[in-house]
């Protein structure tokens, strides 16, 4: 299985599926030279006319019919039990079977994670998968993880995220040696909770091959102070949703300012010719659409449920970058170093305990 690269799509997942999925696929192929093929899992009766509406698309896509799909509100445990043969299940199964390189879905996040875990299983040495998100900054993108899969994380878990996030960032953004920071609060009175402090210690002492830079704060995500920002899924999810909300609020203010008076409108009209479109492109949430599941034996990309065709095309571009990388193999060395460090820790702990009780 070398070339062409094959992406496996849950064509029925997401609020605007299957239309946004097929239109997104067409957008994705625009101006693309290299060979990529898509598998579209879903209802052929709906998919065929949508594909045929785009000239040349049917030659690049293969429709894999199923009339079952996962409900957007299904619970993860339910989804695993009842969704065998659904478009989402089949999209992920095609990764396991080796037919495709990366799966993409805009469906129910919890169901997709649960199904992916059951079908692909965790990579050796990984205890829990994480979801990584890309956030734009002044110099490029910051990778933030976990953004939702794991609400509570012990210190070693955060170190695993650091290992996976670092390799992911290298793969996706072609940075040779990504810098890694651990999200914390900076007030003098508190150096963070015990978990974060212990994770910091472990990151420093485990001898990982990683450019770990210590603690960063919330504003460092947008500043791009480090390439990778590591946190638990609760904090990461809140931080990214807060950032999205703020970006939208400020964008709304900009729009308001540009249309609030005749003079402003004239100014805005002139700006349209120039740089305002670039600004729009930067602020477009579609440009960062696509959380990647890390830590499984295979790569799954989760698009926002509410995404449109442009956003889905971005998710496909991310999937393609990932399909092409060997990042799954790059984490093995650091994972084994982490395991060794933990073993040593527990031996030292046991020795101390024996001494105490002696």
Binding mask 157-196 for its own copies (x = CB under 8 A): --------------------------x-xxxxxx-xx---
- Which one of 83, 231, 289, 314 is in contact with its own copies (CB under 8 A)? 231
> Which residue, 283 or 339, has its beta carbon nearer to its own copies?
283
- Which one of 31, 33, 278, 357 is in contact with its own copies (CB under 8 A)? 278
> Which residue, 125 or 224, has its beta carbon nearer to its own copies?
224
CB of 253 to its own copies, least distance (A): 5
Per-residue three-class SS string for the chain: CCCCEEEEEECCCCCCCCHHHHHHHHHHHCCCCCCEEEEEEECHHHHHHHHHCCCCHHHCEEEEECCCCCCCCCCHHHHHHHCCCCHHHHHHHHHHCCCCCEEEECCCHHHHHHHHHHHHCECCCCCCCEEEEEEECCCCEEEEECCCCCCCCCHHHHHHHHHHHHHHHHHHHCCCCCEEEEECCCCCCCCCCHHHHHHHHHHHHCCCCCEEEEEECHHHHHHCCCCEEECCHHHHHHHHHHHHHHHHHHHHHHHHHHCCCHHHHHHHHHHHHCCHHHHHHHHCHHHHCCEEEECECCEEEECCCCCCHHHHHHHHHHHHHHHCCCHHHHHHHHHHHHHHHHHHHHHHHHHHHHHHHC
Binding positions for its own copies, 288-347, rule CB under 8 A: none
CA within 13 Å, CB half, 61: 30
Q: Which residues, including other chains, have CB under 8 Å from residue 272's CB and lie 6 or more apart?
A: none
> Which residue, 171 or 247, has its beta carbon nearer to its own copies?
247
Residue 222 as a binder of its own copies (CB under 8 A): the answer is yes
> Which residue, 144 or 202, has its beta carbon nearer to its own copies?
144
Q: Which stretch binds its own copies (CB under 8 A): 13-21, 92-100, 160-168, 268-276?
A: 268-276
Residue 237 as a binder of its own copies (CB under 8 A): the answer is yes
Q: Which stretch binds its own copies (CB under 8 A): 6-14, 28-36, 85-93, 250-258?
A: 250-258
- Which one of 242, 336, 346, 348 is in contact with its own copies (CB under 8 A)? 242
Residue 355 CA to residue 358 CA, distance in Å, equals 5
Residue 129 as a binder of its own copies (CB under 8 A): the answer is no
Residue 267 as a binder of its own copies (CB under 8 A): the answer is yes
> Which residue, 7 or 129, has its beta carbon nearer to its own copies?
129
Q: Are strands 299-302 and 291-294 parallel, antiparallel or unpaired?
A: antiparallel
Residue 136 as a binder of its own copies (CB under 8 A): the answer is yes
Binding mask 65-104 for its own copies (x = CB under 8 A): --------xxxx----------------------------
Residue 256 as a binder of its own copies (CB under 8 A): the answer is yes
Residue 247 as a binder of its own copies (CB under 8 A): the answer is yes
Owner of token pair 């460092």? 220
- Which one of 19, 213, 234, 337 is in contact with its own copies (CB under 8 A)? 234
CB of 139 to its own copies, least distance (A): 11
Residue 114 as a binder of its own copies (CB under 8 A): the answer is yes
Q: Which stretch binds its own copies (CB under 8 A): 122-130, 199-207, 258-266, 314-322?
A: 258-266
């Amino acid at each position: 299985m070398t070339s062409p690269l094959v992406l496996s799509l849950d064509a029925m997942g997401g609020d605007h599926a299957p239309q946004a999925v097929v239109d997104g696929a067409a957008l994705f192929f625009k101006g693309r030279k290299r060979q990529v093929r898509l598998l579209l899992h879903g209802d052929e009766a709906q998919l065929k006319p949508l594909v045929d509406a785009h000239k040349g698309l049917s030659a690049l896509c293969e429709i894999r019919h199923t009339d079952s799909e996962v409900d957007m509100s299904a619970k993860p445990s339910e989804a695993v039990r009842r969704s065998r043969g659904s478009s989402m299940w089949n999209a992920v199964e095609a990764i396991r079977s080796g037919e495709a390189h990366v799966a993409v879905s805009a469906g129910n996040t919890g169901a997709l994670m649960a199904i992916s875990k059951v079908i692909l299983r965790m990579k050796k040495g990984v205890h829990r998968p994480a979801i990584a998100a890309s956030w734009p900054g002044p110099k490029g993108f910051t990778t933030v993880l976990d953004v939702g899969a794991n609400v509570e994380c012990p210190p070693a878990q955060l170190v695993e995220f650091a290992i996976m996030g670092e390799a992911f960032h290298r793969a996706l953004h072609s940075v040779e040696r990504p810098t890694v920071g651990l999200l914390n609060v900076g007030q003098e009175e508190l150096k963070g909770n015990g978990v974060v402090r212990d994770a910091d210690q472990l990151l420093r002492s485990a001898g990982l091959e990683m450019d770990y830079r210590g603690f960063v704060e919330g504003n460092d995500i947008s500043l791009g102070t480090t390439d990778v920002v590591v946190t638990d899924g609760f904090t990461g999810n809140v931080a990214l949703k807060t950032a999205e909300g703020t970006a939208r609020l400020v964008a709304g203010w900009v729009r308001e300012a540009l249309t609030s008076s005749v003079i402003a409108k004239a100014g805005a009209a002139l700006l349209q010719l120039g740089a305002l479109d670039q600004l729009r492109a930067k602020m477009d949430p579609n440009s960062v659409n696509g959380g990647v599941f890390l830590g499984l034996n295979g790569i799954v990309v989760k698009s926002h449920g509410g995404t449109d065709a442009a956003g889905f095309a971005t998710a496909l571009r991310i999937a393609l970058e990932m399909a092409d990388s060997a990042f799954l193999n790059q984490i093995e060395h650091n994972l084994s170093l982490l395991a060794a460090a933990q073993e040593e820790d527990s031996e030292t702990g046991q020795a101390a305990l024996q001494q105490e009780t002696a």
